[in-house]
A and B are shown apart, each in its own frame.
Chain A
Amino acid sequence: MPTNSQDVAHAGDPLLQPIPRRRLVEVLLGCGFVATAVAFVYPVVRYLVPPKTADLGGDSVVAGRVGELKPNSGKIFRFGSRPGLLIRTASGNYRAMSATCTHLSCTVQYREDLREVWCACHNGVYNLDGRNISGPPPRPLEAFDVQVRGEEIFVRRRREA
């Protein structure tokens, strides 16, 4: 059995020593730098990856798809922070207007039997141009522009010249 001290570790050997006090500060600092670097780099890297939805919203909104609405029917869609009403008339054309009743802000709906826009709260009626024709509403519904591009129906606020 070899007993020379070269191959066997014993007290005083650098391999066995715990991290010396004088290096503790450096280690702490190093860990801190790495931790903060990760804390900074991680959000930036996530940021750089583009999100799934590239659509910004904006003034123009996709209210529906072609074929989604039967003639003489309507649907409510989201326009910014308010509801909008998309109507497909019996003749197949699209109309869009704000769906917030001008009387007391209930949400209006399209009535297939009346072929007009109707508010369930106090029986207000608007025609397909959004004009208030019966009941309490004092003002017309704001009408929007409709554009069909490909498969999608875009609704946009009317721009006054």
Chain B
Amino acid sequence: MAILRNKPRGFNTLRSLATLVFLLATASLSHGQTPNSCLDCHSVLPDPLGVSQEKFSQDIHAQKGLTCVSCHGGDPSSDDPDKSMSRKAGWKGAIDRKQIPQLCGSCHSDPAYMRQFNPSLRTDQLDQYHTSVHGRRLASGDPKVAVCTDCHSVHDLRAPSDPRSTVNPVNVANTCARCHADANYMKGYAIPTDQFARYNTSVHHEALAVRGDLSAPTCTTCHGNHGAAPPGVDKVQNVCSTCHVFQAQMYEKSSHLQAFQAASLPGCVVCHSNHGIRHPTDAMLGTGSEAVCMQCHTPGDACDQARAGLLGDLGQLDQAIKKADQVLAVAESSGMEVSEALLAQSQARDSLTKARVTIHSFRKDLVDQDVQAGLNIATKNLQSGQKAMAERNYRRVGLAISLIAIAIVLAGLRLYINKIES
């Protein structure tokens, strides 16, 4: 984020010389375009002064007809840097970080102005920003926090719906991580820097970045984008419940809600983590490394027993489904017709999914209902599979009998041939 503030001596002369040289080089390139003397030089200057024509043509502001002067001011018709970059012409130079939100907001918070371009675009980003951690810290003098251009990029700013945009849902985590995962940069702030690494192991990341499901959450989904701030310990489950409705409903009716609130523990996060949310497994109900219940509960108490009961139930249904799957798979590969049972297996699996959701009520009787429904279906399917296997064996027996009959004929023919030829 280097900012050219103090210009060294002789700069003006150097500037004029450079301008002349570059002008000659790029005169033909700008043939036929509206005069934009800014790009004539800046398109060939090295970073951080460089903005190539190619880069700028991707910028959505450029596509909408805005130019360099819209933000930086100055006079684009003149090639003379003294004229084009004069304070009199309104030239602002590089914009100071603290001024960036205000500058962007000068258009983006003006509904009447924005209406000309995209009437459905929100215009409250600046207001939201002021409530965010970034906004508040910027106001109190911290220049390290994110401003508009840090996330949205600048000069090649793309609409969020563009998959190459830094704020497209699939890219958001990477954008946030530029600061939040940089331990050096975040020194001095009292927050961890492992969120990105953890998020990348999560099931949400897998859904979003790998499967391409844009409904999956990224940083901004839970933390907000312009009004970015953590939800607050007691409000976390509200955030999760926007998608995970049933788990939240059950949890709210359960004994754990008050218990966690009393202990100032965040609802869902205690068991599922906040950033590194892995795919939940039945082992979370167990006693091993993934166990969550036993982090609080004492071994041997009533809750521990209930936990063991829940785990047992789920395990029972899981096993029943797997067993039926196995038998059906063998039957199918032996050529037996088991498509009806295979279809019904998906219903059994649905029951298991439901049972796993019902865990959040922490009531064994409710979980048992779902498990029982699933067990009924899985048992029926197992029976179908076994019937198919019986049919398969019947075929093999039939084959064996036929083969014996054929063997008798072959033996008889051999003997007969021997007989008539002896």
Contact = CB atoms under 8 A, between A and B. Distances in A.
Interface of A: 22, 25-26, 28-33, 35-36, 38-40, 78, 81-83, 103, 105-107, 120-123, 135-136, 138
A123 B401 contact: no
Interface string B179-205: 000000000000000000000000000
B390 interface: no
Contacts of B357: 121
Given A29-B409, A33-B409, A106 B416 contact: no
Nearest to B420: A25
Interface stretch (B10-18, B82-90, B323-331, B339-347): B339-347
Chain A CB count within 10 A is highest, among B215, B243, B246, B409, for B409
Given A36-B406, A121-B353, A123-B246, A78 B412 contact: no
Interface of B: 213-215, 243-246, 339-340, 342-343, 346-347, 350, 353-354, 357, 398, 401-402, 404-406, 408-413, 415-416, 419
B347 A107 contact: yes
B408 A122 contact: no
A32 B408 contact: yes
A120 B351 CA distance: 11
A96 to B, nearest CB: 17
A13 to B, nearest CB: 26
Chain B CB count within 10 A is highest, among A22, A32, A35, A135, for A32
A149 B203 CA distance: 47
A39 B408 contact: no
Nearest to B215: A136
Contacts of A103: 213, 215
Contacts, number: 78
B215 A138 contact: yes
A35 B405 contact: yes
Contact of B350 (A22, A81, A106, A135): A106
Nearest to B418: A25
B77 to A, nearest CB: 50
A78 B340 contact: yes
Nearest to B416: A25
Given A83-B343, A136-B215, A32 B412 contact: yes
A25 to B, nearest CB: 4
A123 B241 CA distance: 11
Contacts of A35: 404-405, 408-409
Contact of A29 (B243, B398, B401, B413): B413
Nearest to A76: B347
B245 to A, nearest CB: 4
A82 B339 CA distance: 10
A81 B412 contact: no
25 contacts: A25-B415, A26-B416, A28-B411, A28-B412, A29-B409, A29-B413, A31-B408, A32-B405, A32-B411, A36-B406, A36-B409, A40-B402, A78-B340, A78-B343, A82-B343, A103-B213, A103-B215, A105-B346, A106-B350, A107-B347, A122-B243, A123-B243, A123-B245, A135-B243, A136-B213
Given A25-B419, A120-B354, 4 more contacts: A30-B412, A38-B405, A40-B402, A123-B243
A33 B406 CA distance: 8
A29 B416 contact: yes
B203 to A, nearest CB: 11
